[in-house]
C-alpha cells in the first residue's frame, strides 16, 4: 500500500516502490474517507511512459501526491500532483533533451459521457467503471501525458537540423585544393609552341618565315 503523507512530491523523504504495487481504489470510499497517498515509482515501470525515460537516466523517478475528497456538492474529486524528468526531441535541432516536468490537476470522477460534459472547465473528467474503481497507475500516466508540452526546444539557440544538413552537404561538395586543376597550367600547355613560331589568328596555322602566296599589285 502507498504510504500516506502530507508532503508534496518535491519535498521530504520519498518512499520508492514498484509500480506493480500501485493499487486499484474504490473512488467513492476513498473520497468519503479523504484518503491521501504519496510516493515515487520508476518512470519506466509505467508502460505508457516508458518511451519518455531519459536514456542516460533509466532510474528516473516519478514522484506524486494524490488526495481524494468531496466538495460541497458531493462530487467525487481528487487532487493529483506529479514531478519527473522526461526525454524529448528538440523541435529545432532534433536532438534529445531532458525536460523537467511538473503537473497538477483536480480530477472529477464520472460514470458516463453525459456526466463528463457537465464537468466545469477547471476540472478534468475521469471516467470510472460501473464498480467505481480506478487505477492509481493509470491516473499517474494520464497526468504525465497531459503535462507533456506539444513542442520542446533547448533554451539556448541550437542549430536547426536542416542547417546542419546543408552545411555538411556544402563541405562534402567542396573539392580539396590538391585535387583542383590549375587553369593556368592548362592554358600554358595549349599555347606552347616552338621558339620562333609566328601566331596566325586568321587560320590558326603557323610557320617559320613563310611567304604569302598573294602578290602586290603595286
Q: Strand 124-127 vs strand 24-26: parallel, antiparallel, or unpaired?
A: unpaired
List the chain domain ranges.
Answer: 19-162
- Confidence band of 80 (pLDDT split at 50, 70, 90): very high
Phi, psi angle pair for 80, to nearest 5°: -125, 140
One-letter-per-residue 3-state SS of 181-200: CCHHHHHHHHCCCCCCCCCC
- Confidence band of 168 (pLDDT split at 50, 70, 90): low
pLDDT confidence of residue 8: 41
Evaluate if residue 208 carries a pLDDT over 50: no
Question: Which cell goes with 204?
Answer: 590558326
pLDDT confidence of residue 69: 98
Evaluate if residue 206 carries a pLDDT over 50: no
CB 61 within 8 A of CB 35: no
94-138: pLDDT as tens digits? 999 999 999 999 999 999 999 999 999 999 999 998 889 999 999
What's the whole-model pTM score? Answer: 0.68
Amino acid at each position: 500500500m502507498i504510504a500516506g503523507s502530507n508532503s508534496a512530491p518535491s519535498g521530504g523523504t520519498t518512499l520508492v516502490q514498484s509500480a506493480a504495487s500501485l493499487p486499484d481504489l474504490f473512488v467513492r470510499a476513498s473520497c468519503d474517507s479523504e484518503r491521501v497517498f504519496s510516493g515515487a515509482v520508476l518512470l519506466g515501470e509505467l508502460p505508457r511512459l516508458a518511451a519518455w525515460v531519459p536514456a542516460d537516466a533509466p532510474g528516473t523517478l516519478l514522484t506524486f501526491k494524490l488526495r481524494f475528497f468531496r466538495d460541497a456538492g458531493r462530487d467525487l474529486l481528487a487532487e493529483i500532483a506529479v514531478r519527473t524528468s522526461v526525454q524529448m526531441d528538440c523541435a529545432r535541432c532534433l536532438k534529445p533533451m531532458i525536460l523537467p516536468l511538473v503537473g497538477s490537476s483536480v480530477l472529477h470522477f464520472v460514470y458516463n459521457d453525459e456526466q463528463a460534459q457537465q464537468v466545469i472547465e477547471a476540472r478534468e473528467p475521469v471516467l470510472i467503471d460501473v464498480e467505481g474503481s480506478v487505477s492509481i497507475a493509470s491516473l499517474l500516466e494520464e497526468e504525465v501525458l497531459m503535462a507533456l508540452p506539444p513542442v520542446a526546444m533547448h533554451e539556448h539557440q541550437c542549430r536547426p537540423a536542416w542547417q546542419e544538413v546543408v552545411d555538411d552537404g556544402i563541405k562534402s561538395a567542396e573539392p580539396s585544393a590538391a585535387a583542383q586543376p590549375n587553369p593556368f597550367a592548362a592554358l600554358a600547355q595549349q599555347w606552347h609552341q616552338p621558339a620562333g613560331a609566328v601566331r596566325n589568328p586568321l587560320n590558326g596555322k603557323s610557320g617559320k618565315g613563310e611567304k604569302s602566296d598573294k602578290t602586290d599589285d603595286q
